[in-house]
Amino acid sequence: MAANGLLDTIGETHTARNIRSASLQNKKTDLKHPASKNWLIHLHYIRREFETCKSIIFEELQRTNGNSEYANYVLSLIYRSEGKMQESLDKLQARVSQEAFEALAQIALAKKNLHDAIIVYEKAARIFPENSELLSNLGLLYMKVGRDDVSFVRLGSALAFDPLNSKALVAMASMMQTHEDYDHALAKYKGAMQTLPDSASVWNNTGMCFHFGKRKYVAAMSCLKRAYYLSPFDWKILHNLGLIHLHMQQYASAFHFLTASINLKPLQSHNFFLLAELFTIVAISHLDDLDYATHAFEQALRLNSEVINTDPATLWLNYGISLFNHKKYAEAYQKFKQVHAILSKTPRGSIDPDVKSTFTRVKSAMKLMNFHLQEENEPEILSAPPPFDNTVAPNTDVPTSTKLRDMEKTTANKKSMNLIDEADLV
């Protein structure tokens, strides 16, 4: 009897242990950490095994009642890669972190909605006021929409928290360069080079600072050649190299770089394409190849008639100057008539001062050739020219050809500042 009682006692003890063990096992299961499978989700995501990753995410979300922060974030990234923007937005809104705000802003930018992207970054800046990355991205967006004053403040705040933030340094330097503050722009670019020594954009913009601000063409050429080495197929760098060679009167090299730039981007940007055509025309004119120059002018005028991005008066004026320099006075007179007609229909305040002053000198030169362009107070737009022989040389006492060559370069270089590479900063 005693033995049976002892066995019963032992059996009850083992039963109690099993119950306690099962209870502890259930508690361990219930107390499982919400982030216990984050490593597995990350592993499948970086392998781009999206279906397996989504199945694990759905299990985790079901287990945590949708409160797994990392699972929601990765699922939103998968939805975005699949083109499901609305589902991605819904998942991102369930997560409050810097990465979530960045992803929301990227979705807004993918929809080409800069205003919504700015709103997202403003909310992020209020939650993370000392995050230099968010502040620099916000400053870049304000710069894109033309709010330079707000952009300057945001970029300054980003640099206050991180003085070596390369994105903020380059953006602020580019803004200073646009406003012709070349000394401070060069100082910012120098700071950016400490963290971005192999950035073609930084070297390109530094070279243009030396070109326009310091008139140091050798230094500008060195910077642009370094940018060209780092990015040989960037059409903006090729364009700027052509511009530098044009200023240094190396016309064959200028033609080489400008035509390479046009071949790389023939249709993507009509504005820069026409500007490159214009510089190419000037280079060809100095190489004394009138046929190619005429062809290039006609092509530029044809493209400008389809999409007007360049002042037509500038094109016609340079066309006429090129013909004048090649002693084609009658043909040049016809081109100057077009300029006169355009300027007569343009309000006084809208006329480019450089074009106006150059055309005034053109009229004086044409009078020496007995081609009279009427003044504004005369009843006729133009006076009929007398018969003229193109073989007759101009008056050698008046260096009209030299003057017009200088005017040609001045007019052509009018908008070269717009070629500064800002698009690659974002």
Cα 375 off chain centre by: 43
Residues 6 or more apart in contact with residue 123 via CB below 8 angstroms: 101
Closest to 221 measured CA to CA, from 254, 180, 186: 254
Dihedral sign (CA 12, 18, 22, 23): positive
Q: What is the pLDDT of residue 227?
A: 92
Sequence letter at residue 238 = L
- Taking only the tens place, the pLDDT of each residue in 286-343 is 666 677 777 777 777 777 776 655 677 888 888 888 788 877 888 888 888 888 888 8
Average pLDDT over residues 402-412: 39
- 333's tokens: 């007179």
Q: Contact at 8 Å (CB) between 170 and 155?
A: no
At 408, is the pLDDT very low, low, confident or very high (cuts 50, 70, 90)? very low
3-state secondary structure of 195: coil
pLDDT for position 225? 93
Can you tell me which residue has the tokens 């008046």?
Answer: 398
What percent of the chain stands above pLDDT 70? Answer: 70
* pLDDT score recorded for residue 123: 84
Q: How far is CA 327 from CA 251, 318, 330, 332, 333, in A?
A: 20, 14, 9, 9, 11
Q: Are 242 and 257 in contact (CB under 8 A)?
A: yes
Bridge partners, 176 (sequence order): none
Q: Quick check: 226 pLDDT over 50?
A: yes
Token readout for 50 is: 């999206």
pLDDT for position 33: 62
**CB distance 98 to 134 below 8 Å:** yes
Of 172-181, 351-360, 403-412, give the range with the top mean pLDDT. 172-181
**What mean pLDDT, rounded, does the chain reach?**
74
Instruction: List the one residue out of 150, 126, 143, 219 whose CA is nearest residue 177.
Output: 143
Give the pLDDT band of residue 422 (cuts 50, 70, 90).
Answer: very low
Q: According to the model, what pLDDT value does residue 377 have?
A: 44
Q: Output 385 or 171, whichever has higher pLDDT.
A: 171
* pLDDT classification of 27: cutoffs 50, 70, 90: very low
* Spatial CB neighbours of 246, under 8 Å, sequence gap ≥ 6: 254, 279, 282, 283, 409, 412
Q: What is the pLDDT of residues 9-23, one digit of tens each?
A: 445 545 545 545 554
Query: Can you tell me the distance from the alpha carbon of 299 to that of 335, in angstroms, rounded to the nearest whole number?
Result: 15
Contact by Cβ (8 Å): 321, 281:
no
- Give tens-digit pLDDT for 84-132: 888 887 777 666 667 778 888 888 888 888 888 888 888 888 878 888 8
Per-residue pLDDT at 342: 84
Per-residue pLDDT band at 223 (split at 50, 70, 90): very high
Which whole number is the average pLDDT over 229-238?
90
Query: Which pLDDT belongs to residue 399?
Result: 30
Instruction: Give residue 203's pLDDT band: very low, low, confident or very high (50, 70, 90).
Output: very high
- Could you give the dihedral angle defined by the CA atoms of residues 185, 186, 191 and 197, in that order, rounded to the nearest 10 degrees? 120
pLDDT at 308 (0 to 100): 58
pLDDT at 387: 40
Question: Are 400 and 394 contacting, i.e. CB atoms less than 8 angstroms apart?
Answer: yes
3 has a pLDDT exceeding 70 = no
CA 356 from centre of chain: 31
Whether the pLDDT of residue 419 is over 50: the answer is no
Backbone angles phi, psi at 382, to 5 degrees: -135, 150
CATH topology of domain 164-232: 1.25.40
